[in-house]
Amino acid sequence: MTSERIYVGSYTSQPGGGEGIGFGPLDGIGLVATTADPSFLVRSADGRFLYVTNETENGRVSAFAIQPDGALELLNDQPTGGDHPCHLDIDPSGRYLLSANYTSGSVAIHPIAADGSLGEATQVLQREGTGPNKERQEGPHAHQIAFDPSGTYTFDVDLGSDTVYTSTLTEDGRLEEVDRLHIHPGAGPRHLVFHPTAGAAYVINELDSTLTVCSYTDGKLQIVQTASTRPADSPGENFPAELLISADGRTLYGSNRGDNTVAVFAIAADGLSVELVQTISSGGSWPRHLAFSNDGTSLYAANERSDAIATFVVDANDGTLIEDGAPVTWPKPVCILPV
């Protein structure tokens, strides 16, 4: 089991939920900040600040100063102008924090001050649209905000309308759309990752357990392959969540909630096709989030419904996963951030 320290985000409003953000090595995680439903965490490039989504109705984003011992000091928080923000990212310049409001289907942008605190939103961009799944796609549902490897383009992934929006971020903190990718109807795109060197990107789809492979050039995505995240004829409902790509661009990892597995895909040398090579138990129930250790040799799975964080060794030869000891307990874990 890895000895590195991690931050853990969790749901606090669910029955049996915790009180906020945990921190420590896996065998000694303790509470370091009390805050409501800290469902996604990111750290500033210089390691001084931690930013958190408070995934509540009338959502907020919170800024913390990281202390030398890993403790967190609350700097301030700001409303996101929407409901249930579930993902956030920092723009490569370090000037803005962007967050995705899931329920209301909007994207918020907040300026980051020199002291790490957050200013009032410069934009709350409301998306529109629906999809064929009447229960889950009755309106827009923003699920991720991310940047391409160059930092030139911003992508927000909308589960409700089966759309990935490409934009540029202006100097004054506003998104200007440059393109859209329409995933097949009813897919429910959730998270996107880019190949580190090839012109390719990958989208994991929550509503039909598929992975969309795209070519990528200068802000434009084009679909080249659609693959399943589970073996053929798998029974029962399944809802993929997180997607990771290895630093060498050889392997993708996706979490399957329902099957309660981690799907491992081998990526072709040109990045433009994948093959499902392994599905392994996630070590618990409802794996919402996956994360690599800092050195990339281990993978963490945050199993929300079983209050369990599982660890796997990443095989250096083929990228497959090997269970690494028993899972550790933490209430409703939904995000892992190694430090």
**What pLDDT does 164 receive?**
98
pLDDT value of position 1: 66
Q: Which helix (H) or strand (E) holds 72?
A: strand 72-79
Report the alpha-carbon distance of residue 159 to residue 48 in Å, rounded: 32
Cβ proximity of 154 and 166 under 8 Å: yes
pLDDT at 2: 75
Q: Strand locations in 44-174, DSSP E?
A: 49-54, 60-66, 72-79, 85-90, 96-101, 106-111, 123-126, 142-147, 154-158, 163-169
Average pLDDT, the chain: 97
Residues 6 or more apart from 243 whose CB is under 8 A from it? 190, 191, 192, 193, 202, 203, 204, 211, 252, 253, 254, 255, 290
pTM confidence score: 0.97
Low-confidence ranges of the chain (pLDDT < 70): 1
Q: How far apart are CA 259 and CA 240, in angstroms?
A: 9
What is the pairing mode between strands 251-257 and 261-267? Answer: antiparallel
Residue 27's SS3 state is helix
Q: What contacts 46, CB < 8 A, 6 or more positions away?
A: 94
Give which of 219, 227, 217 is closest to 268, Cα–Cα: 227
333, β-bridge pairs: 10
